Amino acid sequence: MGRASAKSREKPPKPGEKFFGNFPFPYMNGFLHLGHAFSLSKLEFSARYHRLRGANVLFPFGFHGTGMPIKASADKIAQEIQQFGHPPIFPINEEDPVNQEEVEDANAGAPLETKFKGKKSKAASKSSGQAYQWEIMRSLGLSDSEIFKFCEPSEWLSFFPPLAMEDLKAFGLACDWSRSFITTDRNPYFDKFVRWLMRKLKDEDKIVKAKRYTIYSPMDGQPCADHDRAIGEGVQPQEYTIIKMEVAIPFPSKLGVLEGRKVFLAAATLRPETMYGQTNAWVLPNGRYGAFEVNETDVFILTQRAARNLAYQGFSRIPEKPSCLIELTGYDLIGLPLKSPLARHQIIYALPMLTIVADKGTGIVTSVPGDAPDDYMALHDLKSKPAFRNKYGVKDEWVMPFEIVPIINVPEFGDKAAEKVCGDLKIKSLNEKEKLAEAKRLTYLKGFTEGTLLVGEFAGRRVQEAKSWIRSKLMEEGNAIMYSEPEKHVVSRSGDECVVAQTEQWYISYGEPEWKKLAEECLSSMNLYSEVTRHGFEHTLSWLNQWACSRSFGLEHVFPGMKNTWSSRCLIQPFTWLITPLLTFYTMETCMGIPTHLGLYLNK
C-alpha cells in the first residue's frame, strides 16, 4: 500500500462534517501481528472514506504500556537470569508447556456461529509455546545481549513502539502521527491528566473504598483482572456456604494429634436451605485432604486448594498462609461420626463417593438425597451393594438406617424430587452422567422456583425466599461461613494460580443509580450499527456495579495524594482510563504545548 500519513495537527480544521476514529492502543510487550492489521483495517478504510467525502477526520494512534504484562515479563527475565545464569541454560523439558485441558476449557461454550475463530484459543496463544520468557524473546529474533536489557520495564517502552510505528507506516496507515504518545508516567502530561480524572471522580463520590471478594494473585500481591490473566478470562468468584460438620469425639487414632481442638469437615454447598435433609457427608476415597487451622481452636478438614482460598478470606490462623496440622486421605475420613447443623439425625457419617471433583468446592460434600439426584443415586448404590460397602470398609449402621428426609415439596415431583426424577429418567447408576445432569437441572430449577419448604422455622415459605434467611441464620449461629473460589482455573501472567481474596480496594461506583441512568440515556441515543453490539452494552450496564480501579503492581499512574486518604503506593488500574480519557486526551493534546520528545520517542 505504500507509506501514507494524514495532515498533522498544525493545520486547523475547516468547518463542516467531523469524523473521529480511534483504535484500542496495542500493548507494547511485543511486535504487532496480523490480528492488529485485520482489526485496524476497518477503521483505516472508514477514515479514508470520510476524507474522500470532505470531512474533517481526526485519526490519531498511540501505544499502551501500562498494566502488568510488561512488568511481569521483565521480572521473569530477571528471575531466569538469577536461576539459570546469563545467558540462561534451561533444563530440558520435553513436555508441552501449554496445558491442553485448559486450552479446551477456554474454548468450551464459545459460540462458533457468531464470529470467526482461529484454531488457537486465547489460553493457548498467551501460553506462547515457550516455557521461559527468555525463549519467547529469542523467538522474536532478539539476541541474548539484547534480551538482557529487557530486565528493565523501560526497555520495552523504548524498543517496541518505534518498530510498531514503522510497521504501521509500511502498512499505509493514514493517521495523525503528531498526536501519538505512550501511556505511563513517562509522559507527565498524560500522567497528570489521568490523575486529575481520578481526583474529579473522588470529589464527586464516584470512587469509594470497600472490601469485597475478588480474583487475586498471591504472587503479585494484588487482584488479577481479566487482562492480567494467562488463563481464565471472564472467570468470576463463585460463592458457597461452608457447613461446619463437627467431628464427634472420641477421635480415631489418625486424628489423635487434633485432640483438644474443635474439628469440622468443611462442606461447601450452593444449597444451604436443603441442610434439613442431610443423611451423611461424602468424601473422595483417594482424595488428598488436610486438617488446617482456622484459628486458635478450630480446625477444618478440606483440600489444600480450598484452604489456600480460605487463608485469603480471613480463615487461617496465619493470615494468607494455610497451616496444615496433618495430611489425610479420603479413606482416613470414611466412617467419621458427624454432628451437622439442621440435620434431623443427631449423628451422620462420612461415606465414599467416587464422583467428587477435587478442584471444586472443598472436596467435602453434603448429602441430601431427597433433593439431589447425585446424592440419591450414591446412597442407593451403597444401600443396595454390600460388596461396594465392604470395599471401602463401610459399616451397615453408617448407611442402612438413613432414609430420605422429605424437606421440599415441588408440585410436579412431590416431596422426594430426586427419587421421582431419577425414576422417570430410568437412571441406574452414577455413571450415567448426562441423565444425572438433566435430573439435576430439573430438580434444582423446579425446586428453587416452585418448591415450598416442609420443615424448620421457615416451613411453608417458598425456597427462593427462605434460602438467604437460612444461610444468614446458619452463619449467625456459627454453624457456617461464607466461602468463595474462582469459578474455573485462573492463572495470572506471572504464572501464579489465583485465589479469591477479600481485599480492600478503591472502586468506581458505576452502579450508582443516577450515574447509571445517565449512562443508559447516553446509550439509547447512540448509533451502534448493530443490535448485537447494543445488547452487549445493555447487558454490561445491567450488572456493572463496583469496579476495582486500584492495584499495587505493574506500570501504572500513581493515585493522586489527597488529604492522606489516597495511598502513594496505590496505582491506577489501566482499564479505568483506557477508553474515554484516552480519546479525550487526543483532542486536547494540541492545546497543551507538549514538547515533541514527549510524544512517541520518550527515551530522554
CA angle 454, 457, 461 (to 5 degrees): 55
Residue 8 has pLDDT above 50, yes or no: no
**Helix pair angle (417-424, 373-384), 10° resolution:** 80
Contact residues for 34 (Cβ-Cβ < 8 A; gap 6+): none
Of 37, 114, 130, 27, residue with least CA distance to 77: 130
* Predicted confidence (pLDDT) per residue in 258-281, tens digit: 999 999 999 999 999 999 999 999
Q: How many residues does the chain have?
A: 604
Residue 50 has what pLDDT?
Answer: 93
Identify the weakest region by mean pLDDT among 192-196, 292-296, 488-492, 554-558.
Answer: 554-558
CA distances from 481 to 114, 286, 311, 356, 477 (A): 41, 26, 13, 21, 10
Q: For residue 372, give the 3-state DSSP assignment.
A: coil
Q: What's the pTM? A: 0.65
Residue 578 has what pLDDT?
Answer: 53
Residue 597 has what pLDDT?
Answer: 47
Residue 229 has what pLDDT?
Answer: 86
Predicted confidence band of residue 252 (pLDDT cuts 50, 70, 90): very high
What is d(CA 433, CA 427) in angstroms, rounded to the nearest whole number?
Answer: 9
Residue 598 has pLDDT above 50, yes or no: no
Give the gyration radius of the chain's Cα atoms: 29
Residue 595 has what pLDDT?
Answer: 57
Predicted confidence band of residue 22 (pLDDT cuts 50, 70, 90): confident
Residue 9 has pLDDT above 50, yes or no: no
Residue 475 has pLDDT above 80, yes or no: yes
* Predicted confidence (pLDDT) per residue in 135-191, tens digit: 999 999 999 999 999 999 889 989 999 999 999 999 999 898 888 888 877 778 887
Predicted confidence band of residue 541 (pLDDT cuts 50, 70, 90): confident
Question: Mean pLDDT across the stretch 218-231?
Answer: 85
> Comparing 471 with 229, which gets the higher pLDDT?
471
What is d(CA 186, CA 195) in angstroms, rounded to the nearest whole number?
Answer: 14
Residue 13 has what pLDDT?
Answer: 63
Beta strands in 464-545 (DSSP E): 480-486, 491-492, 499-509
* Predicted confidence (pLDDT) per residue in 411-438, tens digit: 999 999 999 999 999 999 898 999 999 9
Residue 337 has pLDDT above 90, yes or no: yes
Question: Mean pLDDT across the stretch 241-268?
Answer: 97
Identify the weakest region by mean pLDDT among 104-113, 167-176, 272-281, 372-381.
Answer: 104-113
Identify the weakest region by mean pLDDT among 5-9, 180-184, 396-400.
Answer: 5-9
Of 444, 400, 456, 384, residue with least CA distance to 418: 444
Residue 591 has what pLDDT?
Answer: 60
| Residue-range domains of the chain with CATH | 200-226+501-576 (2.170.220), 237-404+457-486 (3.90.740.10)
Phi, psi of 372 (to 5 degrees): -110, 120
Question: Mean pLDDT across the stretch 540-564?
Answer: 61
Residue 543 has what pLDDT?
Answer: 80
What does the DSSP assignment read for 166-219?
HHHHHHT---BGGG--B-STTSHHHHHHHHHHHHHHHHTT-EEEEEEEEEEETT
**To the nearest whole percent, how much of the chain has pLDDT over 90?**
58
Mean pLDDT is highest, among 64-68, 279-283, 586-590, for 279-283
Question: Mean pLDDT across the stretch 248-266?
Answer: 96
Residue 105 has pLDDT above 50, yes or no: no
